[in-house]
Structure 1
Amino acid sequence: MGRGNPAGKLYSKYRNRRSRIMKKKKRSVELVIFEEDDADICKAYKLTLSRTCDDWESVRDMWKKTYKIRQEDVTALNNSDFFKAWNKFSHAKAYELIDIDFDLMYPGKGFHLLSKWQEFRQKIMCYCEDNIINEHCKAQLLLVKNCTNIDAKDFIIATLLNAVLPSSARFKNEDENVQGRLQYWTRRRVSG
């Protein structure tokens, strides 16, 4: 009459434990970043970033140091106010800033999609064939099948992701300029 069988599944226990470890690592990265610079200094960096900065390397450096404030602003501000507060997202090199944030959120995970792109491409093509219902997107899918240029194939597949993975986010925006762009992309997604 010993103890009974263990409750739960071994895999679930492994996943839960691994998740806790990853969260601790993420928190430790955030703490190191935030402790490295005082909150007042981070706010000064944020103000400096809102102005024009000619030296992109200093922008990248300040962007890393303001990560914690930006994460707080994501939850505290609405979309329009957030993009006004962090206007560097409208810069031509904003993709570098997004990469910095992604690397800080998920250390060491930045190149996983690229390293598994060929496998992903095959799987998403099968998924697209079954789930695309829009005629324009079906025509794009035929282009992918007949295309010989790998870069062109990858580009079309990336644009087709909008057809099979629609956004679930909905928000009301008072800024007419942003609202107009949102309506344009929504119409484009529905038609394309």
Structure 2
Amino acid sequence: MNDEIDKILTDWSLKEYIGVFKDNKIDADTLNLLDRDMVAQLIKPIGDRAKFLKNLSLWQNVSNDDSSLSLPLQDILNQSLDGRNILKFHKEEGVLSSNSRRKLCNLIIYDLLQEDINIRIPHEILFKYAQEIKSIFNKENASTYYVPYINNQKMKIKACAKGKLVDCLHNRKRDYRREQKNVLLDKKTADVQDNHHLELNEDLQQNLQWLKNSTEPWELVEKKWHATATFRTTELKTSDKSVAQYMAEFPVLQKPAGYQLLLLDFNHLYPGKGFLIYENFPILKNKILSYAEKKAERDSTLREIFQEKNTFTS
């Protein structure tokens, strides 16, 4: 049990007190028995004591809660391609990369918000996932992913919650609010359209012309692609353009990073659903290929793509 108290205090960024807890024969089983007076005897600095008490409160709530408020992390990882790749990478390398950490946080937050983007996520849930991350990926620190907020008026200490999970949660909700704002703006624009065709004002014409003739810098490409999204997607849905014609019209789509622009359009058309492409791609892949093969009979660009594909896979 001493090893467990070592792990707990280390995860709470309080490992300097491991010796004190061992000297007082406190292990994981007796944490629930500690009161404020006992903690004050163990941890003298007020800031460290406040941090310990907040972590202890979250730890007790998670330990005593038998209800299934969220999926176990192992299940989240096993049910998605990204999750399985993260496990595979960790098994091979023994550590997580920055990209793996980012994807790990995205998988957790997407799972928590999939039913309702506006749902309030209890601090205990983020705390629980931080502990599970440490358990599955033993070289990770729980405090990297979640450090609880502290608001102790008596001790005059106040600090916001932080960590990668907190950042990811805030970013996801911010992106959703931005997407909803774009939807409202697009709806307002659509109300003044004539047969779903936007008026080609001077700025829009210039942005479209630039995209038809330029492929860099990428930052400017994304900016102009976003600015023309409503016109391009509306026109594409109401026209008979082929894939080859659309690719030829906008050469930047033929660049290695061109697929990112298609993802931007998908998010524009279906706000909040972009991550589903990644989640369901293994399922959709064969259907996409089957549909594309039929279209390739009349589309020279698709025919060339399939010829290259067959060359590489043969």
Please, what TM-score do these two structures have when normalized by structure 2?
0.32
The structure with more helix, counted as a fraction of residues: 1
* Higher alpha-carbon Rg: 2
Calculate the TM-score normalised by the size of structure 1.
0.48
